[in-house]
Structure 1
Amino acid sequence: MKIEVIFKMSRQFKWWTAKIKHNKLLIMGVIATPILLSMMWGCNDRLKLDDDHLSHNQEPTPQRGDSSISDLGIIAMGAIGLFILLNLRFTSKVTKKANLNYADLKDHNLSKADLSGADLNYANLSGANLTSANLRYANLRGADLSGADLSETNFTYANLSGASLRYANLSRANLTSANLSGADLNCALLRGANFSDANLSGALLFFLNSRDVHNLEPLQLLAKPSPFLCHVALPPYSQPLDLNPNRDCHLIPQLLSDRYHISLTEAQYILNEARRHQWH
């Protein structure tokens, strides 16, 4: 519960920081507009006074005068208006958070998409291409990412609690400080993935090769409630702790039956077949 609160506070802080930062530019533009216009009009009035003074003492000479100031004012006003418009558009783009809860994005090509901070609760992203996508601070609670290509995807501080990552390709994905509590990582490809400070409490780690992952600390696998480990090839640095990679295999048939709505007999068969595989 405390971890979810911290994630929520972090997302809100990021959102408000971005909003304040870009609203400052907008406010500066609004304040600068009347000041610049006043300066130009003041300059224009002074030139008129000078012209009136000269008209009493000498013949006026052909000058561009008012038309130049007028043209300059139009250009300046146009530039300032463009400045404000761009800031409004940019601020809106930064602060607006996409709401894609329960969205059906199955098999969609979202490669390199910017979905940072997006709400994707229970969205169907199975089989989707999200390579190199930005999902920082995204809310993916209960989302279906089974079979999705998530290689090099940025999940920093993302909420993936209860998400299905079964058979997903997470090669070189950045899962730093991601919430993976209760997530299903059955048969996921993890080569080069970064698990620094990721929350794996209650996650299903079944039939996984995690030898090449980065920053998967033993404490993450020993924390309570601990993730379910069965037939997992652990990183070399976890071996000195005598961590059993099959410690929860007796629980797997029931877990598979509940998650995939299959019989216990079928679930036991899946477990037996998985354990025949030898990690090389």
Structure 2
Amino acid sequence: MRERLKQWQTKIRINKWWVMGAIATPVFLGMVWWLWLLSERRIQPDYGRLSHNERTTLAHPHRETLIGGIGAIATVTGGVFLFLNLRTASRNTEAVNLIGADLIGADLNCAELSGAELSGANLIDADLNCAELSGADLSGANLNGANLSGANLNGANLSGANLSGANFNCAGLRFANLSGADLRFANLSGADLSDANLSGADLNCTLLIDANLSDANLSGALLFLINSREVKNLEPLQLKAKPSPFLCNAALPSYASQPDVNPNRDCDRIPQLLSARYDISLEEAQGIVDEARQHRWD
């Protein structure tokens, strides 16, 4: 698998005030030009009968008044535009700080949280359906049972987060950092995990129907009792990465199931891994593995 850059760039947003300015500027200049032509077309007096002072008085006041008015309009318009633009830009650059916040069961449906600081936050059973979380820091957050269906988590940091049972149906997780994340029983159906970092992640019993794993980093990930037959773009090379993902009773797609990729190659190592990760006895972990190996994928 190709080497990938690990730096996530900030999402570039189009500022609506710049768009408005781009539209308003030519309109304003057109008005200035029209007013200038209008002043040129004013009915001119008979300057032949006027003295030099009278000519000066009649020739300049209208234009000076016009130019002064235009200058005032331009100054006020420019000032208002710059004020609103700077105010909006300042608002957009401020990241929401919710580090360690208690948000159990919070209704954050379609919330704007891009770039938010949510590390260590408690988001158990929170509703984050369609939430904008691109570039957010959710490292170590507890998202057990949270609803993240359709959420945009592209470039988000979810390393070490508890995502057990979370719903990521059709969520955007491109370039997301999910290293060491607990994704047991999570629903990742239709999720975009292309270029995501899943190294060391726990994918036990994770639902991955139609998930896009193109160039996802699966090194050291735990793929135990998992059906990945319907995932997209899971290549054999990803299953041979060093350190390679741990496979036990993993149903692999036909194009990724090569003769030298054994879907049960690590079953003898899984009990030790489960015992260490979940602080259970080796005997209990061995029983879980033995029971899981009895399952047959249709």
TM-score for both structures, normalised by structure 1: 0.77
Q: Name whichever of 113-122 and 236-245 sits farther off.
A: 236-245
Gaps of 5+ in 1: none
1:141 aligns with 2:159: yes
Compute the TM-score of the two structures, normalised by the length of structure 2. Answer: 0.73
Q: Does 2:280 correspond to 1:267?
A: no
Q: 2:290 and 2:87 mapped to 1: Cα distance?
A: 59
When residues 59 and 247 of structure 1 are mapped into structure 2, their CA distance, relative to the original with a 3 A threshold, is closer
C-alpha separation in 2, matches of 1:155 and 1:263: 34
Q: Name the residue aligned to 1:56.
A: 54
Query: For 2:190 and 2:253, how far apart are their aligned partners in 1?
Result: 15
Q: Distance in 2 between matches of 1:194 and 1:84?
A: 44
User: CA-to-partner distance for each residue in 1:111-139, whole Å, 9 max, x for gaps?
Assistant: 11111111111011111000111111111
Partner of 2:171: 153
CA distance in 1, matches of 2:65, 2:52: 15
Rounded to whole Å, the distance in 2 between the matches of 1:91 and 1:196 is: 36
Question: What is the alpha-carbon distance in structure 1 between the residues aligned to residue 70 and residue 209 of structure 2?
Answer: 62
Question: Is the contact made by 1:18 and 1:94 (CA closer than 8 Å) also made in structure 2?
Answer: no
| 1:203 matches 2:202 | no
Displaced runs of 4+ in structure 1, greater than 3 A? 57-60, 65-76
1:177 aligns with 2:195: yes
Q: Which residue of 2 aligns with 1:81?
A: 80
Q: Is the 8 A contact 2:212 2:233 kept in 1?
A: yes
Aligned residues: 253
Equivalent in the alignment of 1:162 = 180
Question: How big is the shift at 1:262?
Answer: 1.2
Q: Give the CA deviation at 1:268.
A: 1.4
For 2:99, the equivalent position in structure 1 comes to none
CA RMSD of aligned residues (A): 3.7
Structure 2 residue ranges without an equivalent (≥5)? 45-50, 96-114
Aligned runs of 1:22-33 on 2, under 5 Å? Answer: none
The 2-side partners of 1:113 and 1:137 are apart by: 14
Q: CA deviation at 1:84?
A: 4.8
Paired residues of 2:125 and 2:144 also in contact (CA < 8 A): yes
Once residues 84 and 212 of structure 1 are traced to their aligned partners in structure 2, the CA distance between those partners, rounded to angstroms, is: 52
Which letter does structure 2 place at the counterpart of 1:126?
A: N
Amino acid at match of 1:257: S
Instruction: Give the deviation of 1:258 after TM superposition.
Output: 1.2
- Cα distance, 1:162 vs structure 2: 0.5
Does residue 190 (structure 1) correspond to residue 184 (structure 2)? The answer is no
1:153-206 Cα distance to aligned partner (Å, 9 max, x none): 111111110011010000000000000000000000000000000000000000
Query: Which of residues 115, 118, 130 is equivalent to 2:136?
Result: 118
Q: Residues 110 and 130 of structure 1 are in contact (CA less than 8 Å); yes or no, is this contact kept in structure 2?
A: yes
Question: C-alpha separation between the residues in 1 aligned to 2:230 and 2:53?
Answer: 87
Identity rate of aligned residues, in percent?
Answer: 49
- 1:182–1:77 Cα change, 3 Å: same
- Provide the C-alpha distance between the structure 2 equivalents of 1:94 and 1:154, rounded to a whole number of angstroms: 22
- 8 Å Cα contact 1:18-1:95 kept in structure 2: no
Contact kept in structure 1, 2:118 and 2:139, CA below 8 Å:
yes
Q: Is the 8 A contact 2:162 2:181 kept in 1?
A: yes
How far 1:276 sits from its partner (Å)? 1.4
Pick closer, same or farther for the CA change 1:55–1:170 going to 2, 3 Å: farther
* Higher normalized helix content (fraction of residues): 1
Q: Is the 8 A contact 1:147 1:165 kept in 2?
A: yes
Q: Following TM superposition, by how much is the alpha carbon of 1:80 offset from its aligned partner in structure 2, in angstroms?
A: 5.3
